[in-house]
Structure 1
Amino acid sequence: MRLEIGLGLGVLGLFVASLTIGPANVPAIDSLQALFDNSFGPLTLVMQEIRLPRGLLAITAGAGLGFAGAAMQGYLRNPLAEPGLIGVASSAALGAVLAIHSGLAANVFLGLPLSALAGALVGVCLVMALAGPRGGSLTLILAGIAISALAGALTSLALNLSPNPFAANEIVFWMMGSLADRSMTHVWLALPFVVAGAVVIAMTARGLDALTLGEDAAETMGFDLSRLRLLIVVGTASIVGGVTAVAGAIGFVGLVVPHILRPFVGAQPSRLMWSSALGGAIMLQLADIAVRVILPTRDLKLGVVTALVGAPLFLHLIYKTRRELP
């Protein structure tokens, strides 16, 4: 419980910091007061229309990815698993890229995030169809890899056939991931998918704990592994699709955070999921603050920062896993 309280306080503290840190040299107290100001001054508009949605999205996206990452690692019993393993992130990215490529994103309100959600839906349907109703974890992984490879190839094709360099630049920058220039509309678009996915995954908590003893033991205890897999995949797809639709491709959060927090919760999946949700919110808020502090005039992308932090930790995890092999 102390861990969860500490992480919760960290989320709250970083949320306040996220609201008060920016290029303008404005006192923190003035910035916070502007959140509740009914005037339409410049500072009020910045706080209510730019910084508040950005901070809320950082918490929502980070918590969702951390939660889904812990669930995937618990189901697959593999610390190298992450939410994008089932191919939903790549499918959502493909949907968004097609919206940019076709001009739908520019001509239709919310055309880009809605297309990303449609791509995520198609991706999860294909993964479930390929894995089959009785397929195991290995079949699910192979299906996810196949869909990710296909979506990645089609995304590269769309980038290669971009009608002009401006569209190509927009595609590349979107795929790097960012929370800049997002509004409360994006928050309300992503939040229901993240919450719904978390609720679905939370239903698997006892099953994931039982699965640590092995599949045979879990079935003996009365858990339906096919239903467990379906809930994990659907919940993860909802979270990843919602996050990718509004923030672009953001990696390593669902991989790194559960790995860091696992020693503190005794490797219990049901507890690790909630701790990872708080940890993911902390990691993404730290990354978003770093984006504004480091090279603020160069539009450093959020996905680049999370990759620069997560990739070395991922390599360390691989090295540690290799050393533990007999």
Structure 2
Amino acid sequence: MSQLRLHLALLVALCVSMIGAVFLGSGGATTLDLFGGDHALGGLVLRELRLPRVLLGALIGAGLGMAGAALQGYFRNPLADPGVIGVSASAGMGAVLCLYFGLSASFALALPIAGVVGAAAGVAALFAIAGRGASASTLILAGVAVNATAGALTALLMNLAPNPWALAEIAYWLMGSLNDASWTEVGFAAPVVLAGLVVLAPLARSLDALGLGEETARSLGIELGRLRLAVVLGTALAVGGGVAVAGAIGFVGLVVPHVLRPSVQYRPGALLVPSALGGALLIVIADLATRLLSGPGIPLYLGVLTALIGAPFFLWLVRQTQRRAP
């Protein structure tokens, strides 16, 4: 499949899924309700609840998908993922710190900024632990250490939560959900995530060159230090902005690039845009499933569903990697 056809197919599928997600569900809302009067109940549900929820899900999915593709291209390892190497956990830790100390109520952008700073700190720690010129396996092991450390610090904050309500708020937030999505959250996350996409998208040529080896990439004029900085910054923005408003949603950046990789002839640079579209598609469909499957008083969280999908896929991917090893 050509690059253009792949992009068009994913874009059409995304648009269809977003339209379906807006109108499917209880209430029987129609297109007339979407453009109806301000006081029409169906119109309010569509405009103020479902539409921002769908847009936010697509935005977060695009950030996770492209960040996963960029990390896999940079590490030259299909097991790399914003969650597996600790970026998502670090972003979550930053946001939990913000919630724990009450900074989220101090000013509007406190929570997204905390998520971005946490993600950036996690990626910086990853490179600091692994060291310069580390192999892909060393980077993955360093990521496991960062993930464990961020998870332990988050658990410590939950252990020290001043009251059960604060603990419950942190715990439910960490499960990842778009239940409270509104235009406010869209306005918070959109500039941050889109900035991450803008940083990552131009790296296609550099990632293709890096796939041929570091020496080859240098001979082609690729500055590896600048590439590493761009991957760090872009991933922190794309992942941190989404985690800050929706909590931890894992495995999207692992599953989507791996599924789409054969369609781009295994070129890491060509995988960036399709992964963004595929990640948006996956989150929109998964969130629609959580909304349709949730019962009264028994919500199904988006992060739980993506983990149930992604964890078995990750185990299968590890097995496939072992079989290919000499």
TM over 0.5: yes
Change (3 A) 1:126 1:73: closer
Assess if the C-alpha contact under 8 Å between 2:68 and 2:82 holds in 1.
Answer: yes
Shift in alpha-carbon separation, 1:128–1:75, aligned structure 2, 3 A = closer
1:145 to partner: Cα distance? 3.8
- After TM superposition, the structure 1 = structure 2 runs for residues 125-274 of structure 1, keeping only pairs within 5 Å, are 125-127=124-126, 134-136=132-134, 138=136, 141=140, 144-274=143-273
C-alpha spacing 1:74/1:118, structure 2 compared with 1 (3 Å): closer
Aligned ranges 1:284-323 → 2 under 5 Å: 284-297=283-296, 298-323=298-323
Amino acid of the residue matched to residue 259 of structure 1?
H
Structure 2: give runs of 5+ residues left out of the alignment: none
- AA aligned to 2:240 is G
Does the 8 A contact of 1:86 with 1:233 survive in 2? no
Aligned residues: 321
> What CA distance in whole angstroms lies between the structure 1 residues aligned with 2:163 and 2:87?
28
**One-letter amino acid of the counterpart of residue 282, structure 1:** L
Alignment-mate amino acid for residue 149 of structure 1: A
Matches within 5 A, 1:84-95: 84-95=83-94
Give the counterpart of 1:8 among 7, 11, 28.
11
RMSD: 2.1
Flag the 1:102–1:57 CA change in 2: closer, same or farther, 3 A: same
Deviant stretches of 4+, over 6 Å: none
Spell out, residue by residue over 1:280-317, the C-alpha distance to the aligned partner (whole angstroms, 9 max, x if none): 11111111011011133211100000011111111111
Provide the residue aligned with 2:47 in structure 1: 48
Q: 1:152 to 1:10 in 2, by over 3 A?
A: same
What one-letter code is carried by the residue in structure 2 that aligns with 1:22?
Answer: G
- CA gap of 1:135–1:142, structure 2 versus 1, over 3 A, is farther
In 2, are the aligned partners of 1:23 and 1:292 still within 8 Å (CA)? no
In 1: Cα distance, 2:307 partner to 2:84 partner: 16
Asked whether the 8 Å contact 1:190–1:242 carries over to 2, the reply is: yes
CA distance in 2: counterparts of 1:98 and 1:9, whole angstroms: 39
CA-CA distance at 1:131 after TM superposition: 5.9
In 2, distance between residues paired with 1:314 and 1:122?
25
How far, CA to CA, are the matches of 2:152 and 2:121 in structure 1? 16
Identity between Structure 1 and Structure 2 (%): 52
* 2:23 corresponds to: 20
Please tell me the residue identity of whatever aligns with 1:11. L
Q: How far apart are 1:264 and its partner, in Å?
A: 1.2
Give me the whole-angstrom Cα distance separating, in 2, the residues matched to 1:110 and 1:233: 21
C-alpha spacing 1:312/1:141, structure 2 compared with 1 (3 Å): closer
CA distance, structure 2, for counterparts of residue 147 and residue 312 of structure 1: 22
Partners of 1:23 and 1:296 within 8 A in 2: no
Residue 123 of structure 1 deviates from its aligned partner by 3.6
Corresponding residue SS for 1:39: coil
Tell whether the 8 Å contact from 1:88 to 1:123 is kept in structure 2 after alignment: yes
Once the two structures are overlaid, the 10-residue window that deviates more, 54-63 or 149-158, is: 149-158
Change in CA separation of 1:160 and 1:20 when aligned onto 2, cut-off 3 Å: same
Secondary structure in 2 aligned to 1:81? coil
- Cα deviation digits, residues 180-225 of structure 1 (max 9, x gap): 1111111121111111111111221111111121111111111111
Structure 1: runs of 5 or more not aligned: none
Amino acid corresponding to residue 308 of structure 1 in structure 2: L
